[in-house]
Structure 1
């Protein structure tokens, strides 16, 4: 099992739209192709930014790549994402509201049966 930590630093004025976009566009497409969301959290505003991060579970890095390729190849998904970009002024405006986007892959340091994840 591997976990992907996807992190965003966003402007507060985009928060509601971004959370709506995640729940209505990004999440359904990821779930459709087999990604498993562990959870998604955000911090309170700090120095004009809000940190948001999600943890996703995959059976392996290869499975992650297969799922990502399917999502990126889904023409309807791509159209929905582009439509959301237009709502905030187009792709060129993203740098004004998304200060940083990053991801890494993490592994657990305790047996899964000692965590809430074992209750699946």
Structure 2
């Protein structure tokens, strides 16, 4: 057996269009050519879709993938959906007896976020398409094999066009409901032109934030708490290393220069 698990990050307003695309263009081709749909799930906030397919072999998967890519109706529909997906991640698993957890998302995810200031003390903020009711600090999910430091550099650059230097970690926040733990860094602008990321952020700018006006920008309490903690900047130690043999990758010491 061969399994494909694909996770899509979407804009909630586009869910119905994406569902119609799946049922009219993707599902029929798979079923007609012998694939089995294990399941398709939409999360509570309607900004993520998980799809798991079962194939008899890699060859069957590749044949169906080619059929879709060479289908005019499929390609026309894909063009109409351009920009609806903000992210798509695919995992391919080969197994004769897949374990039950292969049908589900990871129970715990790790993300990073950055309190980034410029020379005027202003803070870098973004507005994401799938959380358009609030501004927030840039950030995102840590990818496999990345250090936390590498992840925050990548996420800030992807979302805002900015390169940064980092001072350290100001807090760790766990969303028990979604299973996401977020590590917040504080850093400074180094280079780059501020710009939004197509399909991901609708606004990106530096703003002067204080405890008195922060609610005007960051309307969600959990994001506001992270920014307020970073504003005080009580740093905690951070170390990334490889084992066998031990190799230090990066380390931040405790600092209090911004307290």
TM-score (norm 2): 0.34
In the alignment, the residues of structure 2 paired with residue 11 and residue 81 of structure 1 have an alpha-carbon distance, to the nearest angstrom, of 15
Alpha-carbon distance between aligned partners in 2 of 1:29 and 1:63, rounded to the nearest angstrom: 12
- Cα distance in 2, alignment partners of residues 76 and 99 from structure 1: 22
Deviation at 1:51, TM superposition (A): 1.2
Aligned residue in 2 for 1:100: 87
Alpha-carbon shift at residue 17 of structure 1 (Å): 1.1
Q: 1:77 to 1:98 in 2, by over 3 A?
A: closer
Structure 1 residue 80: deviation in Å?
4.0
Q: Which protein, 1 or 2, shows the higher relative CO under an 8 Å CA cutoff with sep ≥ 6?
A: 1
Segments of 5+ residues of structure 2 without an aligned counterpart are 101-259
Structure with greater proportional helix content: 1
CA distance in 1, matches of 2:19, 2:33: 20
Cα deviations across residues 12-67 of structure 1 (Å, max 9, x unaligned)? Answer: 1111111111112221122233322111001011xxx6110111000111221122
Maintained 8 Å contact 1:25/1:81? no
Give 3-state SS (helix, strand or coil) of 1:34's partner: coil
- Asked which structure has the greater CA Rg, the reply is 2
Q: CA RMSD in A?
A: 2.0
Deviations 1:54-102 (A, max 9, x none): 11000111221122112212234323433xx1xx5xx3xx1xx322111
